[in-house]
A and B are shown apart, each in its own frame.
Chain A
Amino acid sequence: DAGVIQSPRHEVTEMGQEVTLRCKPISGHDYLFWYRQTMMRGLELLIYFNNNVPIDDSGMPEDRFSAKMPNASFSTLKIQPSEPRDSAVYFCASSPFLGRNTEAFFGQGTRLTVV
């Protein structure tokens, strides 16, 4: 397996535009996590899915953020409209399950810059 794949790697957009980040988890992993990393706040959990169902979205900062997982191999994180303070690195991670003998695997991240 190629690991967790995120696209695009870099995104520069103008304030007010819609941004869609994509993630392909490792095949067979039931859990998918979206994180945002900034210098000020570190890695924050935004939302996670179990078997394509959103379980906890309490970390999503505002209604401008939404995430979907239409099937087991694809998830999107959408920001509409985008604002400069959304600039950050967004990571996607997947794990087989939540348990003692499982580890999470991370994608390379998407660096978002909103100007």
Chain B
Amino acid sequence: KQEVTQIPAALSVPEGENLVLNCSFTDSAIYNLQWFRQDPGKGLTSLLLIQSSQREQTSGRLNASLDKSSGRSTLYIAASQPGDSATYLCAVMDNNDMRFGAGTRLTVKP
């Protein structure tokens, strides 16, 4: 079965910094990869969806890239803000199901 890993588990940065979150997966035969945001005690909010045929997707200050052959995706957050503090999860959909990484807990300090 697909295994999804996220590094680092936690990250703390000062406001204004650019940062990168990493996601890796073991089976490259995927349909897509989705990045979610989860605030404490809340549900999951979809941020970006990258199809397997795409290399990257952008939404505002967020940019997600996908290198399917190497089983990696990154989420780049530009000019981080305290409001970006949350847990970020990546999920991989393949022809079996959808699996999640454990998430990266991001803290942006004012």
User: Footprint of B on A, CB under 8 Å?
Assistant: 33, 35, 42-43, 45, 48, 55-56, 91, 93, 95, 98-109, 111
In the complex, which residues of chain A have a beta carbon less than 8 angstroms from the beta carbon of B52? 100
Distance of A93 Cα from B34 Cα, bound (Å): 13
Residue of B nearest to A97 (CB): B31
User: Footprint of A on B, CB under 8 Å?
Assistant: 31-32, 34, 36, 41-44, 46, 49, 51-53, 89, 91, 93-103
CB pair A103–B103 under 8 Å, yes or no, is no
A98 is contacted by which of B31, B53, B91 (Cβ under 8 Å)? B31
Instruction: Please give the distance in Å from B5's CB to the nearest CB on chain A.
Output: 11
B103 is contacted by which of A33, A42, A100, A107 (Cβ under 8 Å)? A42
- Some 11 contacts from A to B, beta carbons below 8 A apart, are A42-B100, A91-B44, A99-B31, A100-B32, A100-B52, A102-B93, A103-B46, A104-B34, A104-B46, A105-B46, A107-B43
